[in-house]
Amino acid sequence: MESLFTLWQSTGLANFTPGQIVMMLVGCGLLYLAIARKFEPLLLLPIGFGAILTNIPVAGFSEVGGVLYYVYKVGIDTGVFPLLIFMGVGALTDFSALIANPRMLLLGAAAQFGIFATLFGAILLNFVPGFEFSLKDASAIAIIGGADGPTAIFLASKLAPDLLGAIAVAAYSYMALVPIIQPPIMKLLTTEEERKIEMEQLRPVSTTEKILFPLAVLLMTILFLPAATPLVGMFCLGNLMRESGVVDRLSKTAQNELINIVTIFLGLAVGSKLSADKFLTVETLGILGLGAVAFGIGTASGVLMAKAMSKFGSSQINPLVGAAGVSAVPMAARVVNKVGLEANPHNFLLMHAMGPNVAGVLGSAVAAGILLALTGG
């Protein structure tokens, strides 16, 4: 009988807690979004599966000696995985639209307003019983407004590792929901006539300009915001490999094999933080709510800035492109193009929207650097 009892105690049935069951269902929900709805499948699938693995009783996936424990320690705790992802994203990014129309930098900057508005929102939540966010916690939560998953993970790992799971899930969930969240905000803030505006064709951009751009961005970051150089530097390295034309093998590796391998481990590492004891808290609900507000504010800020630039600038700008100032590349730009085509079947805004879209990637990295500098992270 004793041996049977020992055997029973080693089974999952004898050790499951209600919280673990809930979190495994959350993991299954993420798998559903990834597989059935195709929402950010490259990350939601490994995150969801990581959530299931980390909540298996007795297995010890996320405990010392477990594979997820070491994946997290090596890639997230050190900040290496988000930086490698940024290098891959840089290698995938074409800055031509932004170089041809530098004013789009303002739209990328305006969309980051959601980050700083959410920072104050997180601090104000401390007046609600059950919430105790420090300045570092609030800073890590606020970056969700940039809709940039790697940046959110990088900042959370530095400032609020205990909140990493909730922050990462919120960031990637809202990135995945861009086609649902953004169009109503865009239509609410613009008129039918504004959505029909056709923008001037962009000028051709030379190879020299494309090569000098990442170097110029890195130099400006070094001079004015060194705290942002880990993210911006890796992004610029990836982009320089792409545009230089002399290291095609390295560029293709960064765009494909490297970023794919890192994405698998990044997702599993984030999923490992979705354990019941850390995720099922009132703070997690606050983070998810603040993330939605942040994303909405970022989208609205970009659209309103585009309206102002169109009104007071020398050439007309379709206000819809301002919504692409968030960092969800290239999904936000595709949403802008889709909404523009609904208003005017001859209005192709994709290339114009890519300008603020890639500016948003740089903007979220700069915002992360500012928050790191302010909090001493």
Mean pLDDT lowest among 262-266, 312-316, 320-324, 335-339: 312-316
HSE toward the beta carbon, residue 254, CA cutoff 13 A: 25
Q: In whole angstroms, give the CA distance from residue 137 to residue 146.
A: 16
> Is the predicted pLDDT of residue 58 greater than 90, yes or no?
no
Q: In whole angstroms, give the CA distance from residue 96 to residue 94.
A: 6
Q: What is the pLDDT of residue 32?
A: 93
Q: What is the pLDDT of residue 281?
A: 83
Q: What per-residue string of b and e applies to 324-335 under the rule 16 or more CB within 10 Å gives b?
A: bbbbbbbbbbbb
313: left (phi over 0), alpha (psi -120 to 50) or beta: beta
Please report which confidence band the pLDDT of residue 302 belongs to, taking 50, 70 and 90 as the band edges: very high
- Given CA atoms 72, 73, 77, 82 in this order, what sign does their dihedral have? negative
Q: For 199, which DSSP code?
A: P
Q: In whole angstroms, give the CA distance from residue 191 to residue 168.
A: 34
Q: Average pLDDT in the 231-248 region?
A: 96
Amino acid at 5: F
Distance between terminal CA atoms of the chain? 55
Please report which confidence band the pLDDT of residue 89 belongs to, taking 50, 70 and 90 as the band edges: very high
Q: For 16, which DSSP code?
A: -
pLDDT tens by residue, 326-371: 888 888 999 999 999 999 898 889 999 999 999 999 999 999 999 9
- pLDDT cut 70: percent of the chain above it: 96
Please report which confidence band the pLDDT of residue 100 belongs to, taking 50, 70 and 90 as the band edges: very high
Contacts of 316 (CB under 8 A, 6+ apart): 197, 199, 310
Please report which confidence band the pLDDT of residue 252 belongs to, taking 50, 70 and 90 as the band edges: very high
> Is the predicted pLDDT of residue 9 greater than 70, yes or no?
no
Yes or no: say if 166 and 284 are a contact pair by the CB < 8 Å rule: yes
Coil vs helix vs strand at 7: helix
Q: What is the pLDDT of residue 12?
A: 63
Q: pTM value? A: 0.89
pLDDT tens by residue, 161-183: 888 888 888 887 777 778 888 99
Query: Which tokens sit at 16?
Result: 């499951």
pLDDT tens by residue, 119-145: 988 898 888 888 888 999 999 998 888
Q: DSSP per residue over 279-344, as a string? A: HSSHHHHHHHHHHHHHHHHHHHHHHHHHHHHHHHSSS---GGGGGGGSS-TTHHHHHHHHHHHHH-
- Given CA atoms 259, 295, 155, 273 in this order, what sign does their dihedral have? negative
Q: Average pLDDT in the 45-72 region?
A: 90
Q: For 229, which DSSP code?
A: H
C-alpha pair distances (Å), 340 with each of 110, 191, 292, 352 = 20, 12, 24, 11
